[in-house]
Structure 1
Amino acid sequence: MSGDGAPALEIDGRGLTVEIVASQWHTEVMDGLVNGAVEAAKKSGANYRVTRVAGAFELTVVAEHLARQNADAIVALGVVIQGETPHFEYVCNSVTDGLTAVAREHVIPVGFGVLTVDTVEQALARAGVEGSVEDKGAESVEAALATALTLRELA
């Protein structure tokens, strides 16, 4: 499982704002990811807002907009499940490249909580729902906030 070796991060996010952008496809998976992200933001003491978008492809344009609004961190949550066509690769590549561009161009942490999986079962195992072995929503918030704190220290 990909979570092996993940750091245990304790984040003091007081005074930070994290924007959580989440797609709406695959409701059970997405509800788990969003719940994990919100709980991690609350636990850290960070301010947060959740914005829902249609699908994973739409995450990038909203992340770009939010990067221009002075958020300290952005977290993108979505799930893309392999199908029978190349659509999977196009969406995954576009979302990854788009979110990377937002992070680099605006020097803002973008937590990557977009699950790119072969099956719904793989997504549920990572969604932080009952029976999951990982909570990628929470991990994405923790990583983004930890990076925001590092950037503050370096400024």
Structure 2
Amino acid sequence: MGSPEDENFREICKYWPDSDIYKVLEANWCAAFVYHCCMKAGIILPIRYPNHSYRLAGVGAWLDWAQLPETNFLYQDGYQGFKPKRGDIVIFEKLLSDNSHDHIGIVLACEGNRLLVAEGNKDNKNFSSVVYRNREHCIYGYIRIDDSYQFHFDGKYIPIV
């Protein structure tokens, strides 16, 4: 996994038109994995939210997108009774590095203070895996995409040049 020779990795990368996408995502594809899972689940998202700088192949773009007024999908554990559940997207905070929001995955289960999470590029080791993570450690927040969400944009699109 995590190399252009791997069919599953090519499937994850197919959404991005860059000729060097395999190099761009090399050892840095956890957010692309989440994007791919969303698309497979029927949640249609743009590769880059219109008029924003970053693409959903990066964790920061997911965080920005989830906080937009038209989405408002970012939640903190325990806030107003929020508890992570299957299908939520978890954004980790300094889990693998000293950088903010450095990893992302999909919650498969919440069991007490443990989360069962599907991750791409697990621990920056270039493979996908299902792992348990501590619910009380290194978590920035959760994205819960509303079941009725459909991407729609009717503003003026300004391409990045």
**TM-score relative to the length of structure 1:** 0.30
Q: Which has the higher helix share?
A: 1
Q: Rg larger in 1 or in 2?
A: 2
